[in-house]
Amino acid sequence: MNNSSKNCLLTINGGSSSIKYALYEIEDALNPVFSAEMEGIGSGKTQLHSKKLEGVQEHAIIEIANHTEAAEWIVEWLKKEFIEVKAIGHRIVQGMEHTLPDIITEELIERLKSVSAYDPEHLPSEIKLIEVFRKHYPDLDQVVCFDTAFHNDMPDVAKLVPIPLKYRDKGVKRYGFHGLSYAYLLQEFERIEGTEKAKEKIIIAHLGSGASLAAIKDRKSVDTSMGFTPASGLTMSTRSGDIDPGVAWYLQKFEKLTPSQFNHMVNHESGLFAISETTADMQQLLKLEQKDKRAAEAVDFFCYQCVKWIGAFTAALGGLDTLIFSGGIGEHAPKIRERICAKLRFLGIDLDVPKNEKNEEVISKSASKISVRVMKTNEELIIAQSVCTALNYNIKFK
């Protein structure tokens, strides 16, 4: 790949052990030219998956110890390929009170560092990514896009954490996450179905290794399953989701877990992995469930939790018009969608099983009271669009 003649926008989407990055050529519109993902950073065998505009895919194993090394690797790759970068957009999980993307300054970085304890699994590594790219591109416009911003308009009652005011005054509340994904999916849904449909009662299930659901009405977040941190809400691959706070007290007092050990447990040793004791991967669990009782229990628990959250959010919305599945599990696990929808028939969901098996865009029958969709999310594109808006680029979005 050689993009020496291209004027590109780079997006950086850092996770706790992964980085997705993409390049968009900036002309009259945003034209995707390249995307890649590093998985398993720090494991000793980081997997690199890349896809060029022409559709050519490549896979490699590289040695990357941490996010700083990963960022340095990307910078060297950009230089080697003679890629001219005009601007960089970063995803930041915790955005405090920010409602819009913001241009990166030293003051903003210090503010992010001051709230790193809000999300120690993501924020420190995301800040390191920013610092590396600012070091190599000190004169470049760089913008942060906040995952929490989509949920900023949630009603106060949905943000409230019922603990003493002195802690709430320090920022302890329900923020919600996966906001960039929800923003893209709602935008795409509106493009397909129109503004009036987008104003209806919608639940989006972003089901992947990190999983959450959002209740949306009048194009705004009404409630979401994740709260103060991305470890809360729905049970995930290795994250616990909601658990009794007494569990933390018991494990720290009687099992002698330190706060750091407890945090590591609920983020990396819990969820589907803890229930199955074999794997956190849903596709593998589905293959094992017929002969492995614990694998079957993990799958059942995940579906049961999804049904509970969808039921609760339907009540919060006062009804439901559209249910959207997205994320790795939501897009590629028809058996999971079928099991969830089967327990929601009382709401009026009538699934079209053949369409569901084929992962079609609409998987409900035409007579279904509630439309059920499968949609691929694109956080990188929404980051790129947000950068263009923040920097006042005259770009037409498709």
147 is catalytic: yes
> What was the pLDDT predicted at 117?
85
pLDDT (mean) for 251-257:
97
Closest C-alpha among 155, 139, 94 to residue 119: 94
C-alpha distances in angstroms, 152 versus 93, 143, 203?
13, 19, 17
> What was the pLDDT predicted at 108?
92
> What was the pLDDT predicted at 27?
84
> What was the pLDDT predicted at 56?
74
Residue 3 predicted with pLDDT over 70: no
- Residue 116, judged by CB atoms within 10 A of its CB (0-12, 13-18, 19+), counts as middle
Domain chopping of the chain, boundaries = 7-146, 194-374
Please state, rounded to an integer, the average pLDDT across all residues of the chain: 94
Q: What is the pTM of this model?
A: 0.94
> What was the pLDDT predicted at 146?
95
> What was the pLDDT predicted at 51?
87
What is the C-alpha separation between 329 and 221, in angstroms, rounded?
Answer: 22
φ, ψ (nearest 5 deg) of residue 22: -150, 155
pLDDT (mean) for 196-217:
97
The number of helix segments (H) and strand segments (E) in the chain equals: 16, 13
What is the C-alpha separation between 36 and 9, in angstroms, rounded?
Answer: 14
- Residue 47, judged by CB atoms within 10 A of its CB (0-12, 13-18, 19+), counts as middle
What is the C-alpha separation between 15 and 121, in angstroms, rounded?
Answer: 8
- Write down the CATH superfamily of domain 7-146: ATPase, nucleotide binding domain (3.30.420.40)
Closest C-alpha among 188, 234, 182, 187 to residue 211: 234
Per-residue confidence band for 6, with pLDDT thresholds at 50, 70 and 90? low
Spatial contact of 123 and 94, defined as CB atoms under 8 Å apart:
yes
Which residue of the set 147, 242, 321, 352 is catalytic?
147
Closest C-alpha among 7, 6, 5 to residue 86: 7
> What was the pLDDT predicted at 5?
43
CATH architecture for the domain at 194-374:
2-Layer Sandwich (3.30)
Closest C-alpha among 353, 334, 354 to residue 345: 353
pLDDT 10s digits, 34-72? 999 999 898 888 999 998 876 778 899 998 999 999 999
Task: Map residue 152 onto helix, strand or coil.
Answer: coil
Spatial contact of 89 and 9, defined as CB atoms under 8 Å apart:
yes
pLDDT 10s digits, 78-88? 999 989 999 99
pLDDT 10s digits, 111-169? 999 888 888 888 999 999 999 999 999 999 999 999 999 999 999 999 999 999 999 99
> What was the pLDDT predicted at 398?
62
What is the C-alpha separation between 359 and 295, in angstroms, rounded?
Answer: 23
Q: What is the CA radius of gyration of the chain?
A: 21
Mark residue 386 as left, alpha or beta (left: phi above 0; alpha: psi -120 to 50; beta: remaining): alpha
pLDDT 10s digits, 260-317? 999 999 999 999 999 999 999 999 999 999 999 999 999 999 999 999 999 999 999 9
Pairing relation of β-strands 30-39 and 18-26? antiparallel
C-alpha distances in angstroms, 336 versus 21, 285, 301, 333?
29, 11, 11, 5
> To which residue do tokens 């009794």 refer?
244
> What was the pLDDT predicted at 73?
96
> What was the pLDDT predicted at 42?
85
- Pair of tokens at residue 105: 């300054």
